[in-house]
Amino acid sequence: MDNSEPNFGARFSFESWTFDVETGLLCFYYKDSEFGDFEESFIFSGVDKTRYHQHQNSIDSAINCLFWMAGVSYYKTSLARRIVFNNEKPNQEQAIWLTQTWQAGLAELAYENGLGWLDHIEIHGESTELFLNTVKLKQRSLVAIGGGKDSLVSVEAIKAMNEPASLFMVGQSAFIKSVAEETDLPLLSIGRKVDARLKSANEKGAFNGHIPITAVNASVAVLAALLYDFDTVVFSNERSADVGNVQAENGSWVNHQYSKSLVYEQSWQNIIHNHIASDLHCFSLLRPFSELAIVQRFATLKQYFPFFSSCNRNFHLAGSQNSEHHWCGECPKCAFVFLCLAPFVTRDELLGIFRKDLFVDSDLLSLFDSLLGIEGLKPFECVGEQQECRLAVHLLTEHPDWHRHEQVLMWKKILPAFKCTDSVAILAPSNLHQIPGKRNFRQVLSNET
C-alpha cells in the first residue's frame, strides 16, 4: 500500500450565489485553489415573486443549504484541506451536517483512490440563534421520481391515499419524463447545469468519483417545495440503504448510499425544521421496507413493466448510454433487479422486460456472487443486502418457472438454507422511519400497495 501523503488541494471557497426571481435562475460560484473557478446553475421556472418576498428568510436559508451541499461536486476535484466561506457561513448544526455528509458521501471516492477516510474535511460553524419559521405551506406532496421501481411504488401508494401530489425531478432526462407521463401526475422539472470545467479538471488529474447526489437532490426538492408551496417532499429510499459496502481503516463504513440512509434523512430533517421551515417534511415513504419487499409490491404494478428502469446507464451528463433499451443487462442494478423481481413474476414477464436471461450470462456470475455474498464486496451501487438476494434465490427454488434452472440449482447447493423466520423478517416493515403521522402517509405500512 502506498503510504505517501495524498496530494490534496490547499483551499476551496464558497464564493457567492445569485437568484433572479424574474427568470428563476439560481447561480452558485465556487473556487478551488488547484482547478480555479466553477459555476453551477438551476432553473426554477414560474416563481411567484410575491411568495418569494413573503417567505424570503426561509427560501434564502434553503438556497444556502443547496449552495453548500452542491459544492461537493467541485470540492471533490482537489479535496482541499481548507474550506472557507466568503458569503454567509453555516451555523454549528449546519456545519456538522455538511462535515458528516461530505466525509461519508465522499468515502467511496476516497476508498477507490486509496486516500483513507477524509477526516481533514472539517467545516466550522458560527454560533447563531435557532431559526424557527412556520411557512404555512399547502397540504400536498412533491414526489421525487427517478424512473425506477421504488419511486413508482411510492407514486401508486400516494395516489391510493388520495394525497394531492406532483412529481419532481432534477435535470432534463427524457427517460424520466417518459416514465412520469405514465403516472398521470403533473411533473415539476428543475433544470440543472453543471460547470463544463469539471471535465477539463478531470482531464488534468482531478479526483473523480461518487458524490452524495441524493443529498443534493433533496436540497433542490426542499427549495422547490418552498417556492411552489408544498408541505411535504417524498423520497423512496429503502432501509437497505443503511447497510454499507466495506469498512474503512478507521472503522467507519463506506456506504455508496449514505445520502439515502436513515441517518442522513434524520440530519437533513433536523436542518429543515430548525433552520428552514418547521412545517416542511422531507422523508422516505419506503424507509420501513427492504428492497425485496418493495420489488414484491412493484411486481403488482404491471402497467409500468414496459416503461420503468433502474439501470444507471440511463443517466449520464452526456445523455443516456442505453440507446435502444432501458436496461444494459450488464451492471449491478440490472443484475439485482433481475434477481429480485424474478420470484414475483413469470419468466416470460421478466424476459419481456430484460430481453434476455441474465442468469445464463457467464460475464455476470462474479457480479451475482458479490450480490449474494458468496465472494467479493457488495457492489458500489444502489442494491439491496445479501440476505435479500439469498431469499430471492430461495423463492426461485420454489418458483415453477425457475426451480429447475441450472444456475438456481447451483446457488441452492452453495447457499445456506433459509429459515421461515428470516424470510418473514426481511419482508416485514420496520418501525425505523420518519413517515409523519399527518394525513394518510402511514397507510403504506399496511400490506396493500
Q: Which pLDDT band, with edges at 50, 70 and 90, does 130 fall under?
A: low
For residue 50, tell me if it sits in a domain.
Answer: yes
pLDDT in tens, 82-91: 999 998 899 9
Asked if 332 and 271 sit in the same domain, the reply is no
Q: What is the reported pLDDT for 317?
A: 47
Q: Which pLDDT band, with edges at 50, 70 and 90, does 312 fall under?
A: confident
Q: What contacts 255, CB < 8 A, 6 or more positions away?
A: 104, 107, 108, 241, 242, 243, 244, 245, 261
Asked whether residue 423 carries a pLDDT value surpassing 50, the answer given is yes
Q: Which pLDDT band, with edges at 50, 70 and 90, does 3 fall under?
A: low
Helices marked H in 27-181: 49-54, 56-70, 72-75, 92-105, 107-112, 149-160, 174-181
Helices marked H in 277-398: 291-298, 332-341, 347-354, 365-371, 386-396
Asked whether residue 237 carries a pLDDT value surpassing 70, the answer given is yes
Q: Which pLDDT band, with edges at 50, 70 and 90, does 417 fall under?
A: confident
For residue 2, tell me if it sits in a domain.
Answer: no
Asked if 270 and 377 sit in the same domain, the reply is no
| Cα angle for residues 113, 117, 123 (degrees, 5° grid) | 115
Number of domains in the chain: 2
What percent of the chain has a predicted confidence (pLDDT) above 90?
85
Q: Which pLDDT band, with edges at 50, 70 and 90, does 4 fall under?
A: low
Q: What is the reported pLDDT for 382?
A: 85
Q: Which pLDDT band, with edges at 50, 70 and 90, does 138 fall under?
A: very high
For residue 215, tell me if it sits in a domain.
Answer: yes
Q: Which pLDDT band, with edges at 50, 70 and 90, does 446 fall under?
A: confident
Give yes or no for a contact between 325 and 355, defined as CB atoms under 8 angstroms apart: yes
Q: What is the reported pLDDT for 171?
A: 93
Q: Which pLDDT band, with edges at 50, 70 and 90, does 131 fall under?
A: low
Crossing angle of the two packed helices 213-228 and 56-70, in degrees rounded to 10: 160
Q: What is the reported pLDDT for 9?
A: 96
pLDDT in tens, 429-440: 999 999 999 999
Asked if 46 and 140 sit in the same domain, the reply is yes
Q: What is the reported pLDDT for 18?
A: 98
pLDDT in tens, 82-128: 999 998 899 999 999 999 999 999 999 999 999 999 999 999 988 76
Q: What is the reported pLDDT for 180?
A: 96
Read out DSSP for 172-206? --HHHHHHHHTTTS-EEEEEEE--THHHHHHHTT-
- H or E element: which one contains 28? strand 25-32
Give yes or no for a contact between 148 and 182, defined as CB atoms under 8 angstroms apart: no
Asked if 338 and 273 sit in the same domain, the reply is no
Asked if 97 and 236 sit in the same domain, the reply is yes
Asked whether residue 2 carries a pLDDT value surpassing 60, the answer given is no
Asked whether residue 364 carries a pLDDT value surpassing 70, the answer given is yes
Q: What is the reported pLDDT for 448?
A: 47
Q: What is the reported pLDDT for 187?
A: 98
Q: Which pLDDT band, with edges at 50, 70 and 90, does 324 fall under?
A: low
Q: What is the reported pLDDT for 325?
A: 60
Asked if 43 and 135 sit in the same domain, the reply is yes
More confident residue, 305 or 129: 305
Q: What is the reported pLDDT for 133?
A: 78
Report the SS3 class of residue 190. Answer: strand
Q: Which pLDDT band, with edges at 50, 70 and 90, does 421 fall under?
A: confident
Amino acid at 40: E
Asked if 262 and 383 sit in the same domain, the reply is no
**Cα–Cα distance for residue pair 256/245, rounded to 1 Å:** 7
- Find the mean pLDDT for residues 261-283: 96
Asked whether residue 395 carries a pLDDT value surpassing 70, the answer given is yes
What percent of the chain has a predicted confidence (pLDDT) above 70?
95
Give yes or no for a contact between 56 and 101, defined as CB atoms under 8 angstroms apart: no
Beta partners for 34?
A: none
Taking the CA atoms of 305, 310, 315 and 320 in sequence, report the sign of the dihedral they define: negative
Q: Which pLDDT band, with edges at 50, 70 and 90, does 414 fall under?
A: very high
Q: What does the longest C-alpha to C-alpha distance in the chain come to?
A: 67
Q: Which pLDDT band, with edges at 50, 70 and 90, does 322 fall under?
A: very low
Strands 246-247 and 253-254: antiparallel
**Cα–Cα distance for residue pair 30/194, rounded to 1 Å:** 12
Domain of residue 145, CATH code = 3.40.50
Q: Which of 237, 185, 234, 240 is nearest to 389 (CA)?
A: 240
- Domain with 360 in it: 310-315+327-427
Amino acid at 65: C
Classify residue 353 by its DSSP letter: H
Asked if 270 and 371 sit in the same domain, the reply is no
Q: What is the reported pLDDT for 422?
A: 86
Asked whether residue 449 carries a pLDDT value surpassing 50, the answer given is no
Asked if 211 and 343 sit in the same domain, the reply is no
Asked if 232 and 147 sit in the same domain, the reply is yes
Average pLDDT, the chain: 93
pTM for this structure? 0.94
Q: Which residue has the cell 445464463?
A: 360
For residue 302, tell me if it sits in a domain.
Answer: no
For residue 348, tell me if it sits in a domain.
Answer: yes
Report the SS3 class of residue 276. Answer: coil
Asked if 407 and 347 sit in the same domain, the reply is yes
Q: What is the reported pLDDT for 1?
A: 39
Q: What is the reported pLDDT for 183?
A: 97
- Find the mean pLDDT for residues 396-404: 96
For residue 249, tell me if it sits in a domain.
Answer: yes
For residue 345, tell me if it sits in a domain.
Answer: yes
Asked if 141 and 27 sit in the same domain, the reply is yes
For residue 437, tell me if it sits in a domain.
Answer: no
Residue count of the chain, please give it. 449
- H or E element: which one contains 379? none
